[in-house]
C-alpha cells in the first residue's frame, strides 16, 4: 500500500490524512462542488472532483483508479457501512480499509444484528419488527431505522396515540438518510446510559477490545459529549461487556475497527445490546487517548494484511479522555442547525488539547452536510482534570460568525451532575445545562474593547491623519462615540471616549483605558487597571471579541438608521435553513396552538414547525420542495391581534 483515497470529507478526511502520511502513504481526496474551498481538499496530495455526491460509489472508485490509489478508506457516514460498495472496491482491485462486507451486511441491518446478538447469548431489549407490534414492546418505546445511525430515523413514543405518526416520520427520515425505510420498535429506557465497546481485529483471527466509551449526553439521539472510561463501568463490568462484544466479533469473523453499542440501565447496571457499527466512530479519539493506540493506523495495517501483534492482556488504559462535538447549531432553539461563514476560528494555544477540525476561518457552514465544525478532545490524569481542560479550551477559543453550541458544551462540562458522573441519556432534559450568562460588567468591558479596537483600526487606515494622536482635535469637541447592540441588553451600549495627552483614554462612564498594543487580530488593553490580551475579528458590522473569560459578538449600530420593511402580524418564519417537505394546512384553515403546520428538512433531519397560537391561516408564500433561508416567511396566521412570531 503506497496511497489511500479517503471517500469522505471534513475533519475525518483530515484525520485519516494525518495518520496515513505518518505511515508514508500518499493521500487522495474526493470532493463535490459544495466543498471546493474546504481545507481537506487542498491538504490532499491530489483531489478528484466528483460529478455528483459522496454517495456515488462508481465515481469514487473511478477517482481512486484515476489517482493511482491502492486503497479506499471510507471514514464514517456516507458509504462506510455499505457492503455493496466494499465489494465493488475489492472487485476493482483496490484494498478496502474496513471490515469484511459480510459483517457490514449482517450488522448494518439492526434487525439482523439483534438476531445475531441473541444467537451469541448477548442480552437484548424487548423489540418488534412489526411497526404495529407495540403490545409486544410496551411504552415508552423507540421507533428506530433498521439501517440507521446518528439519531436519524429515531423517535420516542409515549403512547399508542402517537405511534403511527412517529413511524411515518421515521420511515421518511430513514429513506432520505439511508435509502431504506424499514423501521422496528424497541423498549425505551428513560434512565439509561449509552456505553460502547471498541473492538479491533486482524485477518489472522486475532481480535481484542480496547475498553469502553460512554456517550450518554445526547440531543435528538445524537452524541455531543463522549468519554473513556465510563464513570460507572468497573473492572468486572468491563470484562463482561468486553467478552459480549468479542463473542459477536468472533461469530462474524470480524477484522478492522468496529464498535458494539450497549444500553446500560442506570439503576440495575444491566446492559443490553443495541447495535454494531462496522466502521470508525466519530468518538474514536477518546479511546486513542487512553490506550495510546492509533485506530486509523491499525485499520491501515490490518487492511494491508499485518497482524495486530498484541493480545488482550497487552491492552492498558491511562487517565481519562473527554470529547466534545462542536456543532453549528442553536441550543436555545431546540439545537436547530445553523449556517453561515466562520469569520473567526482560532483555538487557544493553552490548554493543550486535540482539535480534529474540518474547518478554518472563512469556511462556509451550509445546509448540505452535517453541521459538526470540530471535535475537541482533552486527556488528563483524572476525569475532573480532563473535563476542566476541555471546558477551558472551548471557552478560550476565538469563534465567531456562526451560532454554535460552544458555550453549552463548556457549561455542561462544568455542571455538578457531569462532574459527579450522573450522565444518563436524559441528562440534557433533566439537568438543563447552559451558560449562566456573562459576569456583571462583562458585556460593557467587551463593548469598550470593541470601541478601542475600532479606533485603532480607523487610525491604521487613515492615510492623512493616522500619525496624529487618537481623537486629536484643535478645539473642544464632543467625545467620540461607538454604539453596539449586545446580547443580554435591551438597549444599545454606547461607549463615549476622549484621548488624553499621555495616549490613554477617559470614558464618560469614568473608566480609564490604556491600549498597550493593537493589531489586526487582537488588542492588549487595560481597563481600570485590569489588563488582558483580547482576540478581535471584524466581520462586516459584527465585532467578535474573545478574552480569556468570555466571548461576545457585538453589532455596530449605524449612525443613521434606514427604516426597513416589517413582517406582517402573525408571521411564522423559518427558524433555520431547510427544504419544505410537507405543508399541513391551507389558506383559510383554522389551526390550534401547537398544531404542526410545516415540516422542514435540514441535514437529513426533519423539523416540525407548529402554530404558536390559535387562529386562521391567512397566507402561505412557500411551496413543497422550496429551499428556505433562516427567517424566511413560512405563513401568516390571523388571530385578530397577533404580533410577529418565531
Dump the DSSP string for 242-295: HHHHHHHHHHTT--EEEEEEEEEETTT--EEEEEEE-S--TTHHHHHHHH---H
CATH classification for the domain delimited by 571-638, as one of 2.40.50.100, 3.30.470.20, 2.40.50.140, 3.40.50.150 = 2.40.50.100
Maximum Cα interatomic distance, the chain, rounded to a whole number of Å: 90
Q: Taking the domains of the chain in order of start, what are their residue ranges?
A: 3-97, 126-187, 192-431, 442-556, 571-638
d(CA 146, CA 42): 37
What is the average pLDDT across 427-434?
93
Q: Which residues contact 632 (CB under 8 A, 6 or more apart)?
A: 573, 574, 622
Parallel/antiparallel/unpaired status of strands 222-228 and 207-219: antiparallel
Q: Are 194 and 425 in contact (CB under 8 A)?
A: yes
Give 646's pLDDT tier (boundaries 50, 70, 90).
very low
The side-by-side arrangement of strands in the sheet containing 605-610 is: 605-610, 596-602, 578-583, 627-628
Rounded Cα distance, 208 and 315, in Å? 8
Q: What is the pLDDT of residue 491?
A: 87
Indicate whether 643 pLDDT > 50.
no
Q: Give me the sign of the Cα torsion angle 56, 59, 63, 69.
A: positive
**In angstroms, how far is the first alpha carbon of the chain from the final one?**
55
Using CA atoms, how far apart are residues 638 and 616, in angstroms rounded to an integer? 5
- pLDDT, the chain, mean: 91
Q: What is the pLDDT of residue 645?
A: 43
pLDDT for the residue numbered 192: 94
Q: Tell me the fold of 442-556.
A: Glycoprotein, Type 4 Pilin (3.30.700)
Topology agreement, domain 192-431 and domain 442-556 = no
Residue 322 neighbours by CB under 8 Å, 6+ apart: 225, 226, 227, 286, 377, 378, 383, 386, 387, 390, 413
The yes-or-no verdict on residue 87 having pLDDT over 90 is yes
CA pair distance 19, 606, nearest whole angstrom: 36
Query: 3-state DSSP call for residue 364?
Result: strand
CATH architecture of structural domain 192-431: 2-Layer Sandwich (3.30)
Please give the order of strands across the beta sheet that includes 127-128. Answer: 127-128, 183-187, 141-145, 155-157
Residues paired with 47 in a beta bridge:
29
Point out which residues pair with 599 in neighbouring strands: 582, 608
Which candidate, 64, 71, 59, places its Cα nearest to that of 47? 64
Residue 514 has pLDDT above 90, yes or no: yes
Average pLDDT, stretch 204-223?
Answer: 95
CA nearest to 413, candidates 328, 351, 371? 351
SS3 453: helix
Give the span between the Cα atoms of 642 and 591, in whole angstroms.
14
Whole-model pTM: value is 0.82
For 255-290, write each residue's pLDDT tens digit: 999 999 999 999 899 999 999 999 999 999 999 999
What confidence tens digit (pLDDT) does each residue in 366-397 have?
A: 888 889 999 999 999 999 999 999 999 999 99
Is the per-residue pLDDT at 114 higher than 60? yes
Asked which of 50-59, 62-71, 225-234, 625-634 is least confident by mean pLDDT, the reply is 625-634
Q: At what angle do helices 235-251 and 110-119 cross, to 10 degrees?
A: 110
If one counts every other C-beta atom within 10 angstroms of the C-beta of residue 137, the result is 20
Helix (H) and strand (E) counts in the chain: 16, 39
User: Interior CA angle at 624 toward 618 and 629, to 5°?
Assistant: 85
Answer positive or negative: Cα dihedral of 243, 248, 252, 256: negative
Q: Is the pLDDT of residue 45 over 70?
A: yes
The DSSP call for residue 332 is G
Task: CATH number for 3-97: choose from 3.40.50.2300, 3.40.50.20, 3.30.870.10, 3.40.50.10470.
Answer: 3.40.50.20
Question: Ranked by mean pLDDT, which of 100-109, 124-133, 167-176, 525-534 comes out on top?
Answer: 525-534
pLDDT, tens digit (0-9, with 9 covering 90-100), for 297-354:
999 999 999 999 999 999 999 999 999 999 999 998 889 888 899 999 999 999 999 9
Confidence (pLDDT) at 459? 85
For the domain made up of 126-187, the CATH class stated in words is alpha beta
> What is the four-CA torsion angle of 433, 220, 16, 292, rounded to 10 degrees?
50
Amino acid at each position: 500500500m503506497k496511497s489511500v483515497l479517503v471517500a469522505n470529507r471534513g475533519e475525518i478526511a483530515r484525520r485519516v490524512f494525518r495518520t496515513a502520511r505518518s505511515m508514508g502513504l500518499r493521500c487522495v481526496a474526493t470532493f463535490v462542488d459544495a466543498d471546493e474551498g474546504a481545507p481537506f481538499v487542498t491538504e490532499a496530495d491530489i483531489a478528484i472532483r466528483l460529478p455528483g455526491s459522496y454517495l456515488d460509489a462508481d465515481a469514487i472508485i473511478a477517482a481512486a483508479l484515476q489517482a493511482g490509489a491502492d486503497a479506499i478508506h471510507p471514514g464514517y457516514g456516507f458509504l462506510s457501512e455499505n457492503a455493496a460498495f466494499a465489494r465493488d472496491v475489492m472487485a476493482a482491485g483496490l484494498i478496502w480499509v474496513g471490515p469484511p462486507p459480510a459483517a457490514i451486511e449482517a450488522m448494518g441491518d439492526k434487525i439482523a444484528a439483534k438476531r445475531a446478538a441473541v444467537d451469541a447469548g448477548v442480552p437484548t431489549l424487548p423489540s418488534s419488527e412489526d411497526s404495529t407490534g407495540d403490545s409486544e414492546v410496551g411504552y415508552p418505546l423507540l421507533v428506530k431505522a433498521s439501517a440507521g445511525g446518528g439519531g436519524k430515523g429515531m423517535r420516542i413514543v409515549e403512547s399508542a396515540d402517537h405511534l403511527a405518526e412517529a413511524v411515518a416520520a421515521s420511515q421518511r427520515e430513514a429513506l432520505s438518510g439511508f435509502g431504506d425505510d424499514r423501521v422496528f420498535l424497541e423498549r425505551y429506557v428513560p434512565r439509561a446510559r449509552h456505553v460502547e465497546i471498541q473492538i479491533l481485529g486482524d485477518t489472522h483471527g486475532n481480535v481484542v477490545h480496547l475498553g469502553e466509551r460512554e456517550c450518554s449526553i445526547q440531543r435528538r439521539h445524537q452524541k455531543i459529549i463522549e468519554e473513556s472510561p465510563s464513570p460507572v463501568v468497573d473492572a468486572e463490568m468491563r470484562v463482561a461487556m468486553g467478552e459480549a462484544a468479542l463473542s459477536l466479533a468472533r461469530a462474524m469473523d470480524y477484522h478492522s475497527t468496529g464498535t458494539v453499542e450497549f444500553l446500560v440501565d442506570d439503576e440495575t447496571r444491566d446492559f443490553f445490546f443495541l447495535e454494531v457499527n462496522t466502521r470508525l466512530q466519530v468518538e474514536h479519539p477518546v479511546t486513542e487517548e487512553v490506550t495510546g493506540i492509533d485506530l486509523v493506523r491499525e485499520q491501515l495495517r490490518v487492511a494491508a494484511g499485518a497482524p495486530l501483534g498484541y493480545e488482550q492482556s497487552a491492552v492498558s488504559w491511562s487517565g481519562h479522555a473527554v470529547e466534545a462535538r462542536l456543532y453549528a447549531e442553536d441550543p436555545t432553539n431546540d439545537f436547530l442547525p445553523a449556517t453561515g461563514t466562520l469569520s473567526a476560528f482560532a483555538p487557544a494555544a493553552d490548554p493543550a488539547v486535540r482539535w480534529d477540525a474540518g474547518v478554518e476561518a472563512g469556511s462556509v457552514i451550509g445546509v448540505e452536510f452535517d453541521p459538526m465544525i470540530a471535535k475537541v478532545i482533552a486527556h488528563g490524569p483524572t476525569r475532573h482534570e480532563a473535563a476542566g481542560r476541555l471546558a477551558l479550551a472551548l471557552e478560550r477559543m476565538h469563534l465567531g460568525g456562526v451560532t454554535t453550541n460552544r458555550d453549552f458544551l463548556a457549561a455542561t462540562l462544568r455542571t455538578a451532575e457531569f462532574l459527579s458522573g450522573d450522565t444518563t441519556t436524559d441528562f440534557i432534559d433533566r439537568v438543563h445545562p447552559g451558560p449562566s450568562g456573562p459576569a456583571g460588567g462583562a458585556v460593557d468591558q467587551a463593548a469598550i474593547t470593541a470601541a478601542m479596537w475600532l479606533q485603532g483600526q480607523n487610525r491604521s487606515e487613515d492615510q492623512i491623519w493616522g500619525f496624529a494622536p487618537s481623537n486629536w482635535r484643535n478645539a473642544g469637541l464632543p467625545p467620540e462615540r461607538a454604539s453596539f447592540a449586545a446580547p443580554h441588553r435591551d438597549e444599545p451600549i454606547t461607549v463615549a471616549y476622549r484621548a488624553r495627552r499621555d495616549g490613554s483614554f477617559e470614558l464618560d462612564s469614568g473608566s480609564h483605558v490604556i491600549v498597550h498594543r493593537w493589531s489586526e487580530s487582537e488588542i492588549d488593553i487595560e481597563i481600570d487597571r485590569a489588563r488582558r490580551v483580547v482576540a478581535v475579528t471584524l466581520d462586516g458590522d459584527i465585532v467578535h471579541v474573545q478574552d480569556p473569560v468570555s466571548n461576545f459578538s457585538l453589532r455596530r449600530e449605524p449612525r443613521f438608521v434606514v427604516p426597513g420593511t416589517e413582517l406582517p402580524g402573525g408571521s411564522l418564519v423559518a427558524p433555520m435553513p431547510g427544504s419544505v417537505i410537507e405543508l399541513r394546512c391551507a389558506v383559510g384553515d383554522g389551526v390550534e396552538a401547537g398544531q404542526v403546520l410545516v415540516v422542514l428538512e435540514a441535514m437529513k433531519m426533519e423539523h416540525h414547525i407548529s402554530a404558536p397560537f390559535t387562529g386562521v391561516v391567512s397566507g402561505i408564500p412557500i411551496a413543497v420542495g422550496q429551499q428556505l433561508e433562516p427567517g424566511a416567511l413560512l405563513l401568516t396566521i390571523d388571530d385578530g391581534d397577533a404580533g410577529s412570531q418565531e
